Amino acid sequence: MDYGLLLALCGAGLAALLSGIGSAIGIGIAGRTAAGVLSEKPERYPQMFLLVVLPGTQGFYGFTIAFITLFNLGIITGEPAAVTNIQGLQILVACLPIAFAGLVSAIHQGKTCAGGVLMTAKKPELAMKAGVMYAAMVEVYAVLGFLVSLLMVFGIKLG
């Protein structure tokens, strides 16, 4: 029995799903904090916006890996490739770095951004210097997961 395509589709699904869940949670954490601050200081909205949306990037990284995987599999073009069990497992494993890095880093980035939002409420001049920079440090690990998945997905030869 050949389950290669199923395994590959599971990988693509996990890349999009887990990184998307992480982004939703991270944006929710930062957004709740920003909403509280903005109820008192609505003029801080421009500084808060970037801190709230930053955890959403991981979802885009996961979506990109899923899209590339589906394209390589021929799902998007309507002509699915013949995928062996080993190739399917390789694709599944290739999608895991962004799936898990995206999930975990987005949640922690949301917490870091919430801290940046609170700091910006008291010291708006530090929004970019510290708030965004600290959040960007967390982002690095999502980018690394994305790059590892990208290199692995492109390295798998089908057909």
Predicted TM-score (pTM) of the model is 0.92
d(C-alpha 119, C-alpha 140), whole Å: 22
* In the block, residue with structure tokens 């770095």: 97
Contacts of 20 by beta carbon, 8 Å cutoff, 6+ apart: 59, 62, 63, 102
d(C-alpha 20, C-alpha 72), whole Å: 21
Contact criterion met (CB below 8 Å) for 5 and 90 = no
pLDDT of residue 158: 84
CA atoms 32, 37, 40, 46: torsion sign:
negative
Count of other CB atoms within 10 angstroms of residue 70 = 18
Contacts of 80 by beta carbon, 8 Å cutoff, 6+ apart: 5, 73, 74
What are the 10-residue block averages of pLDDT along the chain, 159 residues in total? 92 98 98 94 90 97 98 93 95 98 98 94 82 93 98 90
pLDDT of residue 127: 75
pLDDT of residue 57: 97
* Cα–chain center distance at 88: 22
**Per-residue tokens: 8:** 């590959």
What's the one-letter identity of residue 102?
A: G
d(C-alpha 55, C-alpha 19), whole Å: 10
- Superfamily name with CATH number, domain 4-155: lithium bound rotor ring of v- atpase (1.20.120.610)
> SS3 for 78?
coil
Contact criterion met (CB below 8 Å) for 108 and 138 = yes
